[in-house]
Amino acid sequence: MTFTKTLALTALTVAALANINAAQARDQIRIVGSSTVYPFATAVAETFGKTTEFKTPVIESTGSGGGLKLFCAGEGDNTPDITNSSRAIKKSEVDRCAKNGVKNITEVKIGYDGIVFANSRKAKPMTITRKQLFLALAKDVPAGEGKLVANPNKTWKDVDPSLPDLKIEVLGPPPTSGTRDAFAELALEGGCKKFDWLKAMKKQDKNKYKAICHSIREDGGYVEAGENDVLIIRKLEANPKAFGIFGYSFLDQNGDKIQGNLIDGQEPTFENISSGAYPVSRSLYFYVKNAHVGKIAGIAEFIQEFTSNKAWGEEGYLADKGLIPMPMAERNKFSEEAKTQTNNIQM
């Protein structure tokens, strides 16, 4: 008895499975990409789903690199329509897209994100420069003209006598993270450039320059704390001697527990990041597959929602979530280009 019943059930399941292949046309936008853009894209998707007749888009948080890999895998129903990115698309990724037949991509810049260097409110705030950050966190630091030594600095005081006598302990994201790439590029390289001979090297040997300026120490001064920024904040709370690196939106939401430190004399505030005064900020983007617009229902409308002033404007709901809006003129330019899909990536 049981056996025949279970046999029938198996047959049914297999039949159901076979059916799916046939009925697969997609009526829902699929988005992948950066975990930094994820909180903003999801907010737009939810509003879009609740105020239009379209289904709410599905958004996967895969990281910028992972998103572009999926995005560039080809065109068609089983590839994503949009990918979010916390950095501009790389040449190698454009090539990959072209190779797989994705020839038309529109780039839309959505705003800025500041990367903060924060610690617990229980501790004293620290004023630091990018040069000091580089000396504290780089793998190798310059010792005189043209010479490098493995980073000997154990405490902040070793870096600069004006800094406190505390062990260097910085919690930050792992190498797979776009936040870490951006921090290395904006903060560390920014400090690295202050050494003239290193700056001169940029022109002669760009790869070596990058290797020096972007490498983060691995001897315990920098602790990889995973992609989870909430976890970093909890650890900072428990250990007031440590510092953490994460996106501005997490500082915005947890201002009672942590404080952002001044970098090059600038406080990480909404105003400073949007005016560009705060040195460690980056642009956020999303990329649209032009061939899918019109084929998958709702893409054009979704872009319109994302680029409307009630979403990405100064008073929009994305600003409430911690996105730093672009100035009006830039917003108009990108929203116009997004609508007409004219800002294509050169293949």
Partner 1 sequence: MTDTIDTSLSIPKNTSEIVHQGLKKRYAAEKRFRRYGVVAVCVALLGLVVLFSSILTKGYTAFYQTNIQLDITFDESVIDPKGTRKTKDLSSADYAALLKKAMRTQFPEVKTRRDKKKLYNLVSSTAVFALRAKTMADPSIIGQTHSLWLTASDDVDMLIKGHIPRELPENERRISNKEISWVDQLIEAGSLEKQFNRQFFSAGDSREPEAAGIKGAIIGSFYTLLVTLLLTFPTSVAAAIYLEEFAPKNRWTAMIEVNINNLAAVPSIVFGLLGLAIFLNVMHLPRSAPIVGGLVLALMTLPTIIIASRAALKSVPPSIRAAALGLGATRMQTVFHHVLPLAMPGIMTGTIIGMAQALGETAPLLMIGMVAFIVDVPGGPTDPSTVLPVQIFLWADAPERAFVERTSAAILVLLGFLVSMNALAIFLRKKFERHW
Could you say whether residue 15 binds partner 1 (CB under 8 A)?
A: no
Identify whether the C-beta of residue 335 lies closer than 8 Å to the C-beta of residue 310: no
Residue from 107, 185, 224, 227 touching partner 1 (CB under 8 A): that is: 227
Could you say whether residue 238 binds partner 1 (CB under 8 A)?
A: no
Q: How many residues touch partner 1 (CB under 8 A)?
A: 53
DSSP SS3 for 283: strand
Could you say whether residue 43 binds partner 1 (CB under 8 A)?
A: yes
Could you say whether residue 249 binds partner 1 (CB under 8 A)?
A: yes
Could you say whether residue 13 binds partner 1 (CB under 8 A)?
A: yes
Q: Token digits for 52?
A: 């239009």
Task: Give the nearer residue to partner 1 in terms of CB position, either 5 or 203.
Answer: 5
Residue from 45, 188, 201, 299 touching partner 1 (CB under 8 A): that is: 45
Return the number of other C-beta atoms located less than 10 Å from residue 317's C-beta: 16
Task: Give the nearer residue to partner 1 in terms of CB position, either 242 or 258.
Answer: 258
Q: How far is the CB of 196 from partner 1 (least distance, A)?
A: 40
Could you say whether residue 173 binds partner 1 (CB under 8 A)?
A: no
Residue from 111, 316, 322, 325 touching partner 1 (CB under 8 A): that is: 322
The DSSP line for 67-114 is HHHHHTT-SSTTS-SEEEESSPPPHHHHHHHHHTT---EEEEEEEEEE
Task: Give the nearer residue to partner 1 in terms of CB position, either 271 or 336.
Answer: 271
Could you say whether residue 59 binds partner 1 (CB under 8 A)?
A: yes
Identify whether the C-beta of residue 167 lies closer than 8 Å to the C-beta of residue 242: no
Q: ∠252-255-260 over CA atoms, to 5°? A: 80
Q: How far apart are the C-alpha atoms of 286 and 273, rounded to whole Å?
A: 20
Could you say whether residue 255 binds partner 1 (CB under 8 A)?
A: yes
Alpha helix ranges (H) inside 123-205: 130-137, 156-159, 178-183, 189-192, 196-204
The helix-helix angle for 328-340 and 299-306 (nearest 10°) equals: 180
Indicate the Cα dihedral angle 313, 315, 318, 321, nearest 10°.
Answer: 150
Task: Give the nearer residue to partner 1 in terms of CB position, either 60 or 107.
Answer: 60
Instruction: Give contact residues for partner 1 (rule: CB under 8 A).
Output: 1-3, 6-7, 9-10, 12-13, 16-17, 20-21, 23-24, 26, 28, 30, 35, 38-39, 42-43, 45-46, 49-51, 53, 55-56, 58-61, 78, 121, 227-230, 249-250, 252-256, 315, 317, 320-322
